[in-house]
């Protein structure tokens, strides 16, 4: 069936923000993936990171911060809106609620979930678009846009149910020591066993075709014409008009479009910086969202802008790579901010080239000068079982060992991400060991947690040196079952299984710290 053409023109109201946004993610899930009725209930969850105390910890972030009462807009459908299942008639806003604060790091995290009902078979791209990134790159560039886009698809998979997209989260900002290569792992999980989860750089893809749904359709990521965007490359395009802010473009490819931003973002002139015609009040603390790139010359699908002003490779130092959801990064200039935009996608198997969903992950990286002590802290745990039951309270500790002399650097924070309703009881110093700190976590899983739930944690010293991530995946179920313990840090994994009442133990060693994990059924 050939769908009728719908061309969407969107105008964003220009708003003024401070430099306060640290990144985030947008994900969704069907409440019942086997629902085959004419409408489907889904949950959309937005999770963002903010500069604290620039943005206050409260409900309705960010409008509850003084002076920001107007800074609310909708999570807007930007692509395939003719098949959004009624979303555009009842869009949700971008407000979230404060969940955690890490004052020593100047970080505040917020989150909010919305339940809504859409027509079955809906598929579309909603986005949060704005511009309040901190000044990025070297030389520093202010006022860069963000564009955080997710792909929602409620069509039945070929194996007979609605897809549940992967879950991914990264603490923002990440810290790298100058001239040292680090690897930033993006923790991902997927409740659909057997799905192949992959990460790629977010891109701007010019409109030209519909996303294909099967291998018999045209491939969405095929090479396109020379003057359009291609995967992993964000090219600068020229424009005969010079693309001065406010002027009409005269190039035949985008005749009649207008440059709506000092950093022009229309289809003709992609990020051509001009110095004339800028608003006189344009400063480093003003956000001026530009007009979305023109899509009128493409008959099948609008352009998809997944990364705004932070598209790879221009947003990171040369040599930065992404492989198997791990970013390899070397910062050569201290005291410099960079931003990363990645899309996490799931495929029905390892050979498929068609993503069933796409989840954005965007975060900051800060390059530190060489610290006095560069030894990274180490996280261990006393988790005894990874099988947890709905309605049954559990608690565990994460321990942080400081490898620096405590007169030089101390442990200042342990930040966790992934499980939203877990309670963090705060960092506590050991009364008997000055190099040891710990956090006690408590959690009562709910019915909507059934499946795999991953939590990751990162520890920081007072010199902002961070540990390798410590990740643990719990299996939430309605009844008790075989208990399996698997905890992962970079470079080591420990697994133990027990199906009887006997107690077994497994010991693993990581850099002079021994972890003993007891497992019972």
Which of 47, 210, 233, 30 lies closest to 128 in space, CA to CA?
47
Cα separation of 141 and 39, whole Å? 45
pLDDT in tens, 178-204: 999 999 999 888 889 899 999 999 999
Looking at the structure, do residues 451 and 364 belong to the same domain, yes or no? no
State the pLDDT at residue 481: 61
Report the range out of 21-25, 39-43, 272-276, 415-419 with the highest average pLDDT.
Answer: 39-43
Looking at the structure, do residues 327 and 382 belong to the same domain, yes or no? no
Looking at the structure, do residues 28 and 74 belong to the same domain, yes or no? yes
State the pLDDT at residue 133: 87
- Who has greater pLDDT, 11 or 356? 356
Looking at the structure, do residues 149 and 40 belong to the same domain, yes or no? yes
Q: Which domain holds residue 27?
A: 16-211+302-370
Looking at the structure, do residues 21 and 157 belong to the same domain, yes or no? yes
Cβ within 8 Å of residue 281, ≥6 positions away: none
pLDDT in tens, 492-506: 444 444 333 333 333
- pLDDT mean over 455-464: 93
Is 421 a domain residue?
yes
Looking at the structure, do residues 393 and 352 belong to the same domain, yes or no? no
Q: What angle do CA 121, 124, 129 make, to 5 degrees?
A: 155
Which of 478, 496, 512 is the last residue in one of the domains?
Answer: 478
Cα separation of 92 and 95, whole Å? 9
Cα separation of 80 and 7, whole Å? 9
Q: Residue 34 class from Cβ within 10 Å (0-12 exposed, 13-18 middle, 19+ buried)?
A: exposed
Is 89 a domain residue?
yes
DSSP 8-state class, residue 63 = T
State the pLDDT at residue 487: 52
**Whether pLDDT at 297 is above 80:** no
Looking at the structure, do residues 315 and 438 belong to the same domain, yes or no? no
**Whether pLDDT at 84 is above 80:** yes
Looking at the structure, do residues 207 and 60 belong to the same domain, yes or no? yes
Which of 370, 385, 406 is the last residue in one of the domains?
Answer: 370
Q: Record the tokens describing residue 475, joined without a space.
A: 């299996």
pTM for the predicted model, two decimal places: 0.72
**pLDDT grade for 484, boundaries at 50, 70 and 90:** low
State the pLDDT at residue 23: 92
State the pLDDT at residue 482: 65
**Whether pLDDT at 139 is above 60:** yes
Is 355 a domain residue?
yes
Looking at the structure, do residues 348 and 450 belong to the same domain, yes or no? no
* Cα 190 to the center of its chain, rounded Å: 15
Q: Record the tokens describing residue 26, joined without a space.
A: 């947008």
- pLDDT mean over 245-256: 45
Which of 65, 118, 120, 56 lies closest to 92 in space, CA to CA?
118
- pLDDT mean over 259-266: 40
Is 363 a domain residue?
yes
**Whether pLDDT at 426 is above 80:** yes
State the pLDDT at residue 403: 97
Question: 329 and 201 in contact (C-beta within 8 Å)?
Answer: no
Looking at the structure, do residues 380 and 472 belong to the same domain, yes or no? yes
**Whether pLDDT at 159 is above 70:** yes
Alpha carbons within 13 A on the beta-carbon side of 306: 31
Looking at the structure, do residues 418 and 363 belong to the same domain, yes or no? no
Is 318 a domain residue?
yes
| Per-residue buried b or exposed e for 482-491, using 16+ beta carbons within 10 Å of the residue's own CB | ebbbbbbbee
State the pLDDT at residue 191: 86
Specify the CATH number for the domain of residue 335: 2.60.40.10
Which of 350, 370, 390 is the last residue in one of the domains?
Answer: 370
Q: For the chain, what is the domain count?
A: 2
- Summary mean pLDDT of the chain: 77
Place of tokens 């473009």: 249
State the pLDDT at residue 388: 93
- Who has greater pLDDT, 211 or 42? 42
Is 234 a domain residue?
no
pLDDT in tens, 47-72: 999 999 999 999 999 999 999 998 89
Is 218 a domain residue?
no
Whole-angstrom CA distances from 160 to 3, 221, 348 are 24, 25, 12
Q: What angle do CA 494, 478, 162 make, to 5 degrees?
A: 90
Is 280 a domain residue?
no
Looking at the structure, do residues 72 and 148 belong to the same domain, yes or no? yes
State the pLDDT at residue 169: 81
**Whether pLDDT at 268 is above 70:** no
């Amino acid at each position: 069936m050939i769908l009728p053409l719908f061309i969407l023109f969107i105008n964003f109201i220009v708003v003024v923000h401070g430099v306060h946004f640290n990144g985030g993610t947008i994900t969704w899930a069907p409440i019942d993936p086997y629902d085959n009725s004419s409408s489907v209930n889904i949950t959309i969850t937005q999770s963002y990171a903010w500069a604290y105390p620039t943005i206050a910890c409260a409900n309705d972030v960010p409008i509850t911060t003084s002076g920001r009462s107007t800074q609310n807009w909708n999570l807007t459908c930007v692509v395939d809106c003719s098949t959004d299942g009624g979303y555009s008639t009842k869009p949700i806003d971008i407000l979230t609620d404060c969940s955690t604060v890490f004052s020593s790091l100047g970080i505040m995290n917020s989150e909010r979930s919305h339940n809504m009902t859409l027509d079955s078979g809906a598929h579309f791209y909603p986005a949060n678009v704005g511009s309040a990134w901190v000044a990025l790159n070297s030389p520093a560039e202010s006022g860069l846009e963000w564009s955080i886009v997710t792909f929602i698809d409620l069509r039945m998979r070929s194996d007979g149910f609605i897809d549940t997209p992967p879950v991914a989260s990264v603490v923002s900002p990440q810290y790298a020591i100058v001239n040292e290569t680090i690897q930033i792992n993006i923790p991902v999980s997927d409740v659909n066993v057997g799905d192949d989860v992959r990460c790629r750089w977010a891109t701007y893809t010019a409109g030209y075709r519909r996303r294909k749904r099967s291998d018999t359709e045209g491939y969405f990521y095929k090479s396109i014409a020379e003057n359009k965007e291609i995967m992993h490359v964000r090219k600068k395009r020229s424009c005969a008009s010079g693309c001065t802010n406010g002027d009409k473009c005269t190039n035949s490819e985008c005749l009649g479009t207008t440059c709506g931003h000092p950093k022009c973002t229309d289809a003709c002139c992609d990020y051509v910086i001009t110095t004339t015609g800028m608003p006189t009040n344009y400063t480093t603390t003003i956000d001026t969202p530009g007009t979305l790139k023109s899509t009128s010359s493409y008959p099948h699908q609008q352009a998809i802008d997944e990364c705004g002003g932070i598209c790879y490779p221009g947003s990171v130092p040369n040599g930065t790579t992404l492989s198997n959801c791990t970013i390899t990064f070397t910062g050569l200039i201290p005291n410099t901010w960079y931003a990363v935009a990645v899309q996490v996608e799931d495929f029905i198997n390892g050979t498929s080239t068609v993503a069933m969903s796409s989840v954005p992950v965007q975060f900051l990286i800060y390059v530190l000068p060489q610290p006095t002590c560069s030894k990274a802290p180490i996280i261990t745990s006393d988790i005894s079982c990874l099988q947890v039951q709905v309605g049954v309270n559990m608690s565990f500790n994460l321990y942080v060992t400081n490898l620096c002399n405590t007169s030089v650097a101390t442990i200042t924070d342990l930040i966790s991400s992934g499980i939203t309703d877990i309670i963090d009881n705060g960092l506590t110093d050991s009364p008997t060991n000055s190099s040891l700190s710990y956090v006690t976590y408590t959690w009562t899983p709910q019915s909507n947690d059934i499946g795999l739930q991953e939590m990751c944690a990162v520890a920081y010293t007072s010199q902002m040196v961070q540990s390798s991530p410590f990740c643990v995946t719990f299996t939430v179920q309605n009844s008790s079952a075989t208990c399996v313990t698997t905890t992962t840090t970079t470079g080591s994994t420990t697994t133990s299984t027990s199906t009887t009442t006997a107690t077994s133990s497994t010991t693993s060693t990581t850099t002079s710290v021994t972890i003993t994990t007891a497992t019972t059924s």
